[in-house]
Each structure stands twice: as C-alpha cells, then as structure tokens.
A and B are shown apart, each in its own frame.
Chain A
Amino acid sequence: MSFDLLPFAHALVARQDLPIPAWLFAWGASIVLIVSFYALSVGWREPRLEQDTWRPLGGEGLSRVLLGRPAQALYGLIGIFLLGVAVYSGLRGTEAPDRNFALTFIFVTAWLGFPLFGILLGDLFRALSPWRAAGRAVGWCFQRIARQPPAHLSYPEALGRWPAAAGLVAFVWLEIVYGSSGGITVGISPHTTAVAVLVYTGYTLAMMALFGVERWCATGETFSVYFGMFATLGPLEARDGRLGRRRPLTAATRWATVPGSVAVVIASIGTTSFDGGQEGVLKNAIESTFERLSDTSLSLTWALRLTDTIYLLLVIAGVAAVYLVGVQGMRTIRNAPPARELRRAFAHTLIPIAFAYLVAHYFSLFVYQEQAQFTYLLSDPLGTTTTDLFGTASGTVNYGVISANAIWYVQVGALVVGHVTGLVLAHDRATALWKDYRQASRSQYWMLAVMVAFTCFGLYLLSQANQ
C-alpha cells in the first residue's frame, strides 16, 4: 500500500472478513438503542445530570503545581512552540504530506487527540492553546506598560458561537475541499497549511484584542469552542485556580446556552459525515455534478472544489434537518416549550454522537499516523531524510497493528456507545423539562428515531467507505 499521497481526511481500512453482513450490525445497534430507550423510560424518572457536581480534587498544593502561573506559562509556551514547529515545517519542510510534521500534527494529533483527551480528562486544549497563551501574554504586557487592563468591545450576544461554527466548516473545507486538485485527492499541502495557520493566528489575535481573550475563546475561537465542547463530557475541570472533578456528562447540560451552539455540533457531525461519504455514498453524485460544472468556464480544480462545497453544505443541512425532525416531534407533547428553546435545550445530546462519528471515521487513521508522529516525524519534522533528532527517523508505520475487523468493531462500538449516551442526555433533559416522567419519555420518541437514523446512516457510510 503506497501512502505517499496520504489523504489525511480519510480513515484507512483494509478488506474485512466479518462474520455477518455490515447492515446486520446496524440492525443490532438499533436494537441496543431501542432497549436502552425502554430502560431509560422505566428506570430514569428524575433529572440526574442537571446539577453542578464539581468538587475540588486533591489539596490546594496539587492545584498550585498543576494550575499555578508558572505551570500556565509552561503550558502556553509548549503550545506556542508546537504550533511554531508546525508552521516552520509547513513553510520550510518537504511538500510530501506524509513526511511533513505539520499535516499530521494539525489534522491528526491535535484535531483528533484533543477531543479524545477532553472526553477522558477535561479541557486540555484550554491550557495548551497557543492563541490563548499569546493573547494573555500580550494582555499582560499591555497592563504592565499602560498600568490598566486593555479595554474591549462588548461582544454581541446574538453572535454567540456562530463564528466558531463558521470556522469549523472553514477548517474542514480547507482540509478536504481546497486540497482537492483536478480529481487527484492529494489533500492540502504543508505550505498551504502553514499559511492558513498564520492567517488564522492574525485573525484570532485581532478578535482577542477587540473582545477580550477569554470572551473570544469561549465564543468565537474555533478550536477552543470545538475541543471545549467535547471536554464537557469529561470528568475533570479547573475552576478559579482549583482542579476539580465532576460527574461525567454533567457539564454538557450547561454547554448549549449560547447562540450558535447547535450550529457547532451540527457542523461537527455534518463535516465528518461528508468526509466519510465523499469516497463512498456521495461519490457518484459528486462525479456527476463535477462533470456538469467542468463543462462551464470554471477550471477543473475549482469545478471540483465547488462540487465538494455544494455537497458539504447539503450534508450539513441534512444533519440539521434530521435533528429538527426530533425537535418538532417533541412539540407534539403537551406543555412542550417553543421549538427555538427545544433546539438549544437538546443540542448537547448530539455531542457524544459528534465524538462517536469522529472516532468511527478516523480511528484507524489516528492509530497509524500517531506511530509516524512519534517516530520519523518527531525526529525529522521537515522531512529532509538527513535529520534524526531523537534517533527515531528510521521508524515506520506498522499497518498490521490492528486488523480490519478490529477497526470495524471499534467503529460500531463507538457509534453505539455515542448514541446511547446521547439518548441518556436527551432523556435526562426531558425529565427536567416535563415534570411528568411519562410525558418526558413520550417526548423522546422522535429523538430515538433521530438516534437510530444517525446510527444506521453512520454505519452505512462506514460500510461504503470500506468497500
């Protein structure tokens, strides 16, 4: 298998030898969801995840060591250093995508690693964010010189997380649409990636100067919002300089109070679905549309980009439509809040599904590319073939470390666990909104349909990508 033209956006799979057809896994997963729904209806009659359950973890000494100013400065420096290495590698290193540190670090290690750490621990990106560190450093210097904190504009409440949602779509567009070139899916180049990072850095620091570092990170900074979204499912949280633990999932119930939150999570699921579908389910449709557009005055490259853009937006709209069906279904129950309130109230239930889609589509890529990240990419980040900083430049990727069947089982498991978790969050929120648990259960019928639909759709995408 040649991976010189490694398409970073796609999971890597080999031929499977499953004991039963892939579609039967979808039936089994759906049965698990239906049984889970029934169990929740019978056994979960009061909200259990709405309370803030944060408690300090360990003594103040532990928090001082892990979260004190010196530690914060160190984490920030690490983040800035790693981003600097990625940018330098992109600008000065090889254009071979599989030999350049920048692509694997940004599109695999960071993009997939931070959500994983967020789920397992907490918001690690908040500590390591190079933009937050740089913004805070500049703000600190300003305060020392001007002897007053910098003045900021008031952030428009209605704007909420919409900039982050747009940034998320733009990031994925750059990665898997812009990188397309005349039908040869090479993926985005290291140089383009580095330039994009520099542009994004300038834009982010400007927004931080306008609205404040913490305000922008909480609402408009794409990666802080995106990684922070997954971290709401995790058990650890730092608060006012103290490290603490909370019951998993509880922070998610308070995440979607900001406008634009629905858009962020829908964009996450939609972009992952498009990436999984463009080589399988959507391939014929994309080729057909591309042929029509290439007959116009557009160049082949831009005809392909425009085609992919259209289908990317259509898939995102499709995911939004399925979610809205679930919301409208809840409106059929007596005493249902308005649709607008329901849309935001249940947005957090899609976070586990977004993570499940991420794992399902990129698990194998993560397993393979992290081997590269910590061997030859670490020792030879520019891909010169003459550098060996840590003695691991001759390392290779072992593609046999996990079998194709094992990958499929992880994908199915991720989708099932993610959707069951989504059901739990939805049921818990329903018991909070409808005091009668029977009405709460009835209100979730259509959300069950949404979860089953997402599960079957996800498994269908994966089965087609594996052909």
Chain B
Amino acid sequence: MADPLPLAHAGHYIWTLYIPPVAIVVFSIVKTTISERRKAREEEEARKGGAGKGKRG
C-alpha cells in the first residue's frame, strides 16, 4: 500500500488559501498600471516625433 500523504499539518497553512484573491487583484492592478503608463509614454513619443517632422518640413 502506498504511503499516505503527510497532510497532518496541512491545516497550519490554510491561511495561504485566503491570499490568492488579494494577490490576483494586486497583480491585475500592477499589470494594468504598467501597460497604461507604457501606452501613455508611446503616445507622448509619437506626438513628439510628429511635431519634430513638422518642424523639419
């Protein structure tokens, strides 16, 4: 017969199951914030690039 899984102390770590919802929300916020800032930076650079071409013309 296979040895049973050592789950006698698994209850001590039950608190970890309460973390994922918080972690998912925080991760989503960080990811959204980074992508929004990258988008804003790209738009700013595109605007500056467009203004520079206009001056040279």
Contacts and interface: CB of A to CB of B under 8 A. Distances in A.
Nearest to A454: B22
B11 to A, nearest CB: 9
Interface in B21-57: 21-22, 25-26, 29, 32-33, 36
Interface string A420-449: 000000000000000000000010011011
Which secondary structure dominates where chain A touches chain B? helix
Interface stretch (A141-149, A354-362, A371-379, A455-463): A455-463
Q: Looking at chain B's contact residues, is the secondary structure mostly helix, strand, loop, or mixed?
A: helix
B10 to A, nearest CB: 12
B33 A332 contact: yes
Nearest to B24: A30
Nearest to B21: A30
A353 interface: no
A253 to B, nearest CB: 25
Interface residues of B, number: 14
A26 interface: yes
Contact of A460 (B18, B20, B32, B36): B18
A84 interface: no
Given A23-B14, A23-B17, A460-B15, A449 B22 contact: yes
Given A23-B14, A460-B15, A445 B22 contact: no
A452 B25 CA distance: 8
A23 B25 contact: no
A26 B15 contact: no
B25 to A, nearest CB: 5
Nearest to A456: B18
B33 A456 contact: no
B17 to A, nearest CB: 4
A266 B34 CA distance: 31
A461 to B, nearest CB: 10
A457 B18 contact: yes
B19 interface: yes
Given A26-B17, A30-B21, A448-B29, 12 more contacts: A23-B17, A23-B18, A26-B18, A329-B29, A332-B33, A445-B32, A445-B33, A449-B22, A449-B26, A453-B22, A456-B19, A456-B22
9 contacts: A26-B18, A30-B21, A30-B25, A332-B33, A445-B32, A448-B25, A456-B22, A457-B18, A460-B15
